[in-house]
Amino acid sequence: MREYIVADVFTDVPLEGNPVAVFSDGAGLSTELMQRTARELNLSETVFLLPGDGGGEHARARIFTPAAELPFAGHPVLGTAFILGERLGVDSVRLLTGAGPITISLQRERGAPVFGEMEQPIPTWEALSCSGELLAALGVERSGLPIEIYDNGPRHTFVELSDENAVVALRPDLTALSELGAFGVSCFAVRDGPVRARVFAPGLGVPEDPATGSAAGPLAVHLARHGRTGFGQRVEIRQGIEIGRPSRLWAVVEGSGERVERVAVGGGAVIVARGEYRLD
């Protein structure tokens, strides 16, 4: 029997945010068995922890959606950091991912972690070649900003809609979206307060994601590069409301349009379940 813990991430309220299952000992499990386990649990992501490579990491994290392994993902990294922070009593957790080492700093209240912020890989970006097909699959006419695809381990593309109502009204063709490739599609609207977003990733086995930490960093880059926000401005993102899992994410990007120097994404998490699973 393998121990696992479930945390709801990018929230401080149980049964909200994005759940992640973290297996504390993935040693001896094949990639195929890890993938089957993630499919069985059917969460956006499932994590298996292994020993680090001797570079000061607390653990190596392998991250799986129901359909594929990811080199990096935001809410699994943050949820894992909360779990290890509670278990080890540390205020900084270093995880080795497929995209390299990620450091997460934790803030505590009355001894328990309540907020974490991860340093994310600096993304690259380029124009999305299938932007017309993407808009057709989403059922929208245009994007307010150029449609570009960002890569920080996973890949995400961004479509700006006119207002929050347009985001809420989305009814995308998930089959058509999945045929475009294995990347997330973030549809968002900017207002005076939080950015409202929905993220669809059917090509990765996730029809709609409640909270997407790996997209939050590139979204902050996208907004700053195109003048919707400023570099150094802390952006609040609201996601998951339409599927009954309201989530709050914070992202900040430092640098300039010519050189992005730092991307960080933060939020809360709460442990909601512990148990054992028969895998061997």
Mean pLDDT of 159-174: 97
pLDDT given at position 53: 86
pLDDT band at residue 1 under the 50/70/90 scheme: very high
Q: Which of 3, 16, 32, 45 is catalytic?
A: 45
pLDDT given at position 280: 78
10, pLDDT greater than 90? yes
Quick one: the chain helix, strand, coil %, rounded to 5?
A: 25, 40, 35
111, pLDDT greater than 90? no
Extract the tokens encoding 33. 């068995």
Extract the tokens encoding 98. 């497929």
pLDDT given at position 48: 98
242 classed as catalytic:
no
Judge residue 38's burial from the number of C-beta atoms within 10 Å of its C-beta, 0-12 exposed, 13-18 middle, 19 or more buried: buried
pLDDT given at position 84: 97
pLDDT band at residue 51 under the 50/70/90 scheme: very high
Side chain identity at residue 80, one-letter code:
T
Mean pLDDT of 154-165: 97
pLDDT given at position 22: 98
Residues, the chain, total? 280
pLDDT given at position 192: 82
pLDDT band at residue 118 under the 50/70/90 scheme: very high
Give percent of the chain above pLDDT 70.
Answer: 100
Mean pLDDT of 51-70: 94
The chain-wide mean pLDDT, for the chain, equals 97
Distances (CA, A) of 103 to 37, 57, 121, 144, 259: 26, 9, 10, 34, 21
171, pLDDT greater than 90? yes
What is the per-residue pLDDT across 227-280, written as a single tens digit (0 to 9) for each? 999 999 999 999 999 999 999 999 999 999 899 999 999 999 999 999 999 997
Mean pLDDT of 78-94: 96
- Contacts of residue 259, defined as CB under 8 A and 6 or more positions apart, other chains included, come to none
191, pLDDT greater than 90? no
Q: What's the whole-model pTM score?
A: 0.95
